[in-house]
Amino acid sequence: MGIIFLSDDIMQTPPIDLACENICKHFAQFTAVNDVSFTIPKGSFFSILGPSGCGKTTLLRMLAGFESPSTGDIKIKQTSVLNVPPNKRPVNMVFQHLALFPTMDVAQNVGYGLRRQGVAKAEIAERVAAVLQRVGLPDSGKKQVSQLSGGQRQRIALARCLVLNPTLLLLDEPLGALDLKLREQMKIELKQLQKEFGTTFVYITHDQSEALVMSDQIAVMNHGKFEQVGTPHELYYEPKTAFVASFVGDSNRWSGRVTQQTGETLQVTTKDGLTLQGVAQGGTFDDASEVDIFVRPEAIHVSRLVPQIRLDNQLECTVNNILFDGAKSQIIAIEEKSGGRIMVAMPQTADFKDLKITDTLYLTFSTEQALCFSHSQELDDVDH
């Protein structure tokens, strides 16, 4: 079955629901969105991931119709919506603080959009009941918004939009206000609901874990531009820019200079003295040019004995600190010779149970695991 569905998907690519063409938005002092183009196929979960102030909210508000782009075009189902006001667009939005109307009960909230469309009363009641059933809150129609828990409010806010069968559903960091446990649970629920309803979701967030878990496609945005658009897998394993490598997932990052290069492989000496080998990304480098090297903590093989296999990067370190966080525990290690710092994921095996500070560790990773990008001053600024 799965195979048949898969081949179907490949055979007929789904139609494009949203196409943005060269969108720019200039405010008096600065450019919030700078020449962004992308398309979203029907039924997919598309996330825009970026730090605060990167322009993602402005972009979303342009899709909803609350702002209009300075230049460029927004097409929903091949038709430009630039001249369509927000209340006429086939687009609905879940607001950051949900904006459930406190003066109405749940059923009135969910039915608000249907009443605006002039749907008959009996049909409104029926459709509201149906959508409340689908989001798993069948008996909450008569409740006041203030009586609902955080997670229930999320679902009501979704139901209020989904009952209108929008072409696009925009979500403006709706999970931001929830506590961690509930957020983890809502991530799964949101993804599940998106699959069930088959609605195209455009989700903006600054939380990379939300984006990675839920999305089919993620656009990483910085300074008003898309740095990279791709599947979560692509962004994580094949970042195209230094910003993506540092923003998506955890990474060790070292700044250093190229000391030697053979083809794609660079040998780099970092500022704190480590000598590493990595793969050049995004162009070629001159000797002595400044680069940033990124290595994922979990890509580093850790052992307490001298390893049998030799890899390109081999470091002998002592444990400087252990950051215990259950399955996500990490070790901060210092290389004896150079004093360079490196962060590695702690293997969850019996060998490491009694690991303590000042123990010796052997860290190894291949050249392919170390990605070299040309040096970015911005990342330095974030760190300090």
Partner 1 sequence: MSTISRSRSPIKLGMWLLLAPLCLWLLLLIILPHLELLTYSLSAPDEGGFTFEFYGEFFGESLYWRTFLRTAVMSILATILTLLIGFPVAFFIAKMIKGRSKGILFAMCLIPFWVSELVRTFGWMILLRESGVISTALQWLGFIDSGVELLYTDATIMLGLVYSAMLFMVVPLVSTLDSLDDSYIEAGYDLGGNNWNILREIVIPHAMPGIVSGCIIVFMLSLGNYLTPVLLGGKDSLWFTEQIYTQFITRFNWEQGSAFGILLLILSSLIVWLGLKVTGQSFTKTMG
**Residue 121 touching partner 1 (CB under 8 A):** no
Residue 172, C-beta contacts closer than 8 angstroms, at least 6 positions apart = 57, 60, 93, 94, 95, 96, 204
**Residue 177 touching partner 1 (CB under 8 A):** no
* Residues in binding contact with partner 1, number by CB under 8 A: 25
Rounded CA separation 135/154 (Å): 10
**Candidate list 41, 43, 72, 86; residue touching partner 1; CB under 8 A:** 86
Rounded CA separation 76/86 (Å): 13
**Residue 116 touching partner 1 (CB under 8 A):** yes
Q: Residue 60 or residue 229: which is nearer to partner 1 going by CB?
A: 60
Rounded CA separation 324/9 (Å): 43
Structure token digits, residue 137: 């809150």
**Residue 150 touching partner 1 (CB under 8 A):** no
**Residue 99 touching partner 1 (CB under 8 A):** yes
**Residue 29 touching partner 1 (CB under 8 A):** no
**Residue 88 touching partner 1 (CB under 8 A):** yes
Q: Looking at residue 289, what DSSP letter applies?
A: -
Q: Residue 93 or residue 135: which is nearer to partner 1 going by CB?
A: 93
Rounded CA separation 308/363 (Å): 12
Q: Which of 145, 191, 150, 143 is nearest to 171 (CA)?
A: 191
Structure token digits, residue 108: 């009135």
**Candidate list 44, 57, 58, 92; residue touching partner 1; CB under 8 A:** 92
Rounded CA separation 49/69 (Å): 20
Q: How far is the CB of 84 from partner 1 (least distance, A)?
A: 12
| Angle between the N-to-C axes of helices 150-162 and 180-197, in degrees from 0 to 180, rounded to the nearest 10 | 20
Q: What is the DSSP string of 190-255?
A: HHHHHHHH--EEEEEES-HHHHHHH-SEEEEEETTEEEEEE-HHHHHHS-SSHHHHHHSS--EEEE
Contact flags string 157-176 toward partner 1, x per CB under 8 A: ---xx--x------------
Q: How far is the CB of 169 from partner 1 (least distance, A)?
A: 11
Q: Residue 197 or residue 373: which is nearer to partner 1 going by CB?
A: 197
Beta carbons within 10 angstroms of residue 306's beta carbon: 9
**Residue 85 touching partner 1 (CB under 8 A):** yes
**Candidate list 14, 22, 68, 97; residue touching partner 1; CB under 8 A:** 97
**Residue 112 touching partner 1 (CB under 8 A):** yes
**Residue 104 touching partner 1 (CB under 8 A):** yes
| Piece in contact with partner 1 (CB under 8 A), picked from 69-77, 89-97, 133-141, 280-288 | 89-97
Rounded CA separation 383/243 (Å): 13
| Piece in contact with partner 1 (CB under 8 A), picked from 84-92, 224-232, 284-292, 336-344 | 84-92
**Residue 34 touching partner 1 (CB under 8 A):** no
Q: Which of 365, 379, 339, 370 is nearest to 267 (CA)?
A: 370
User: CA–CA distance from 31 to each of 35, 43, 66, 83, 271 (Å)?
Assistant: 10, 31, 17, 22, 35
Tell me if 291 sits within 8 A of 257, measured CB to CB. yes
Q: Residue 104 or residue 322: which is nearer to partner 1 going by CB?
A: 104
Q: How far is the CB of 123 from partner 1 (least distance, A)?
A: 16
Tell me if 138 sits within 8 A of 119, measured CB to CB. no
β 252-262/91-94 pair status: unpaired
Q: Residue 49 or residue 110: which is nearer to partner 1 going by CB?
A: 110
Q: Residue 52 or residue 117: which is nearer to partner 1 going by CB?
A: 117
Q: Residue 29 or residue 87: which is nearer to partner 1 going by CB?
A: 87
| Piece in contact with partner 1 (CB under 8 A), picked from 40-48, 95-103, 141-149, 278-286 | 95-103
| Piece in contact with partner 1 (CB under 8 A), picked from 59-67, 122-130, 242-250, 363-371 | 59-67
**Residue 66 touching partner 1 (CB under 8 A):** yes
| Piece in contact with partner 1 (CB under 8 A), picked from 82-90, 289-297, 340-348, 361-369 | 82-90
Q: Which residues bind partner 1 (CB under 8 A)?
A: 64-66, 85-88, 91-93, 95-97, 99, 101-104, 112-113, 116-117, 160-161, 164
